[in-house]
Amino acid sequence: MDSDVFIKTAQSFLVAGVDEAGRGPLAGPVAAAAVILDPLRPIDGLADSKQIGERKRDSLFEIIKVCSLSWSVGTASVEEIDELNILQATLLAMRRAVLGLAIQPDKVLIDGDQLPDLPVPARAIVKGDSKVKAISAASIVAKVVRDGIMNDYYKKYPDFSFHQHKGYGTKQHLAEIEQFGFLPVHRKTFNPVKTMIIRQNIK
């Protein structure tokens, strides 16, 4: 019997949780994750990724990779964010995450109040990352993966402390932009980069 057919038969109704990380930062892609948990292999400690420390998130990520039926990450690039706007780019990343699952779910539960275009039934749940375990798992995966991207940026651009602020508009990050200018990984439709570009064009 095909393994996917066996899983569908054994679990009968598969639900994927979806969440994103990185809507608010000034730099880097937005990442979304989709996770189908295995009810026969429950994972303790799942919660909204923002309520969990980095070490715990990393540990849970490794467990999710092993114990879930399927997981996937989708991203939308800085260029797509600037072209589409952050909402549409986030929905695109979510769609990519769901389509990247090795197993097609019967239903998708998404954190928030907006739904991407999907080929399966979906429901948006406000604060779903604290209400639905599969969404909690997705929030953890998305956060860990995106943080890893930002850590790589730090290695490439050591003048910017991406490993600390993760691209968010902290005092430190704003000071770095002011001192060193903006990078290709900065979102050009987000301030203060947007204002800097306008000033340059005026000059």
30-76: pLDDT as tens digits = 999 999 999 999 999 999 898 999 999 999 999 999 999 999 999 99
Identify the CA nearest to 78 among candidates 149, 143, 172: 149
Prediction pTM value: 0.91
Residue 48: what pLDDT? 87
CATH code of the domain in which 103 resides: 3.30.420.10
Give CA–CA dist 169/178, Å, rounded.
12
Report whether 185 contacts 193 (CB < 8 A). Answer: no
Tokens of 165: 């602020």
Give CA–CA dist 143/176, Å, rounded.
23
71-100: pLDDT as tens digits = 999 999 999 999 999 999 999 999 999 999
- Tally of structural domains, the chain: 1
Residue 97: what pLDDT? 98
Report whether 20 contacts 32 (CB < 8 A). Answer: yes
pLDDT category at 122 given cuts 50, 70, 90 is very high
Domain that holds residue 167: 3-202
135-149: pLDDT as tens digits = 999 999 999 999 999
